[in-house]
Amino acid sequence: MCSCYTFYLLSCETKASVTMFMPMFKTGIFLAIIWCCCFYRSYGCLEEERTHLLQIKDSINYRHGYSLDEDWVGKNCCNWSGIECNSSSSRVISIHLSLFPYSSIREERLGLWCPNVSLFAAFKELEELDLSGNHIGGWVAPQAFSEMQSLRTLGLYHNNLSASIDSLRGLCELKNLRYLDLGGNNLGSYPSALTGLCELENLRVLYLDGNNLDGRALPPCLSNLSKLETLGLSINDLGSYSSALTGKIAIKMVYIEMIRTM
């Protein structure tokens, strides 16, 4: 039988052990909480950005209730089709809503779409946006383009931007844009609208093919885009276009694409 003294020693040792391991236990709990928070942020999406995506979805739904984005359901918008998020911040960095080559479906069922730019500007880390083939005829709140300074890639191929000269207004605010596709928009009807592109000093790739452009439609100021590496001009009626491409572009021997793979 243990004596009272022996029991006292055991009790002291037990308390000492608990006291010694208590900081480790607390540290473990703290690390577990941090891990759970990081896990949630890495594999979830921000509720505010999920809300903005649903607003965009509502704006492109067909009148008959059908949406090409029926899988945009659930809490984690990072798993939705066409959406990519930053693995660290969980913010949306890429939105692909291209309907090409099915743009005629949207034209038939919805008509012109005028996207609200402020909805896209709400994504603070958005780097890529593809709205090709969506029959865009203009923008709501085009001044919001000035807030999209993280945007590097913009695809607007095969829309209806020639329907209004305002369709290009605001794009010149995308100062950090590297890639811009404006092909298939019949912009030859408004050659003066292309002048604003000369302000995009960081452009590396610019597609203007399929726009019914002639040599006079190309603004001479395009030659000031010193970082431009590729200029797509296929399916146009340019004739002798070299006179409009002097200066820095000619010195760099920019690659001019006259044939585009569809």
First to last CA, the chain: 92
- 143 and 224 fall within a common domain: yes
User: How do the residues of the chain divide into helix, strand and coil, expressed in percent and rounded to 5?
Assistant: 45, 10, 45
- 95 and 3 fall within a common domain: no
From the list 198, 193, 147, the residue with the least C-alpha distance to 168 is 193
Q: Is residue 114 part of a domain?
A: yes
User: Residue 108's pLDDT is what?
Assistant: 54
Q: Residue 161 in contact with residue 182, Cβ under 8 Å?
A: yes
Q: Residue 126 in contact with residue 100, Cβ under 8 Å?
A: no
Q: Is residue 14 part of a domain?
A: yes
- 97 and 168 fall within a common domain: yes
- 32 and 149 fall within a common domain: no
Reading the chain (262 residues) residue by residue, the pLDDT tens digits are 555 444 444 455 555 554 555 555 555 555 555 544 444 444 579 999 999 999 998 887 655 445 555 678 889 999 999 999 999 999 999 999 887 544 445 455 556 788 899 999 999 999 999 999 888 878 888 899 999 999 999 999 988 787 566 668 789 999 999 999 999 988 887 767 788 899 999 999 999 998 888 877 788 888 889 899 888 888 888 765 555 565 555 545 455 665 544 4
Give dist(CA 162, CA 83) in Å, integer: 28
CATH of residue 188:
3.80.10.10
Q: Is residue 241 part of a domain?
A: yes
Q: Is residue 75 part of a domain?
A: yes
- 91 and 33 fall within a common domain: no
Q: State which amino acid sits at residue 93.
A: I
- 7 and 28 fall within a common domain: yes
Give dist(CA 123, CA 147) in Å, integer: 10
Count how many domains the chain has. 2
Domain with 23, as residue range(s), is 1-43
Which pair of tokens denotes residue 58? 């509502």
- 32 and 64 fall within a common domain: no
- 24 and 101 fall within a common domain: no
- 145 and 200 fall within a common domain: yes
- 245 and 193 fall within a common domain: yes
User: Residue 166's pLDDT is what?
Assistant: 67
- 26 and 155 fall within a common domain: no
Q: Is residue 143 part of a domain?
A: yes
Which pair of tokens denotes residue 207? 């597609």
From the list 52, 119, 45, the residue with the least C-alpha distance to 75 is 45
Q: Is residue 262 part of a domain?
A: no
Q: Is residue 238 part of a domain?
A: yes
Q: Is residue 140 part of a domain?
A: yes
From the list 168, 237, 158, the residue with the least C-alpha distance to 198 is 168
Give dist(CA 101, CA 109) in Å, integer: 15
- 136 and 17 fall within a common domain: no
